[in-house]
Amino acid sequence: MALTRASKTEKVGRLAAELEHSTSAIIGTFKGLTAAKDFELRKAVRGAGGSYHVVKNKLAARASSGTRIEAALQGLKGVSAVAYTSGDPVALAKALSTWVKENAEFTFKLGIVDGKLINVSEIDSLATMPGKEELFSKLLFLIQSPAQRLATVINATGRDLAVVIGQGVEKGKFAGSAAPAQPEATVADPAPVPETAVPSVEASASEAEASGAEVEVAHVEESAAGEQPSGAAQPENATASQAGEAAASDPVEG
């Protein structure tokens, strides 16, 4: 059924709106593609963040005018289908290449990535490249790796240095560099106070107290003797006088 001018204009307008922000596209053709397989193909493209349409060549050329994928949709011949995306072109190429390997009914014509046309072999090479997320992960790893290595080296250096110094101290490796010790004779150590000094002082004090007590006793005795009455000594004197008288009165034998 032939399309009317109005329907053609409407279809071109919808396709142009979808292609306006697209940055990459892969154009292919098919023969004998069943509806079930066509559904699986569309599902695979949507899973990669893209869209898929079977287009008429002239309508596709008009709809792509002024877009970044215009060059790939000019001068197409035969049956054409276009898968396009504004996201990762590698993910789209991977999804299509995986599906085409299992479905020979679909083949590639050409592609375009950021305004640059690519052929079939370049589409296959694009499918083997890492995607944007994988590239970002690798780039982040490369950026962080030097800092991590530097931190590891710094930590390892300090740790190894501490171990070496500890082993050197244990083995006396640093004894030769130390200042020579002063002879013991030049340092006059204070004489230790003998423990018996305190008892000697206490003994001297005890002896002094005992001597003082004896002196006091002697003074007491002398005082007692001095205070004795004179009559008590007189008998001894009388006896002595009597003895003298007796001796004087005895006749001397001649």
CATH T-level assignment (fold) for domain 9-129:
Alpha-Beta Plaits (3.30.70)
pTM of the full structure: 0.53
Going by C-alpha positions, the residue among 39, 106, 30, 114 that lies closest to residue 72 is 114
pLDDT tens digits for range 152-200: 767 666 666 677 677 777 777 666 554 555 555 554 555 555 544 444 4
Cα–Cα distance for residue pair 105/32, rounded to 1 Å: 6
Going by their DSSP bridges, the two strands 106-113 and 24-30 should be labelled as antiparallel
pLDDT tens digits for range 68-107: 998 999 989 999 999 999 888 999 999 999 999 989 899 9
**Count of CB atoms within 10 A of residue 81's CB?**
21
Domains of the chain by residue range: 9-129, 130-166, 199-228
Across all residues in the chain, what is the average pLDDT? Answer: 73
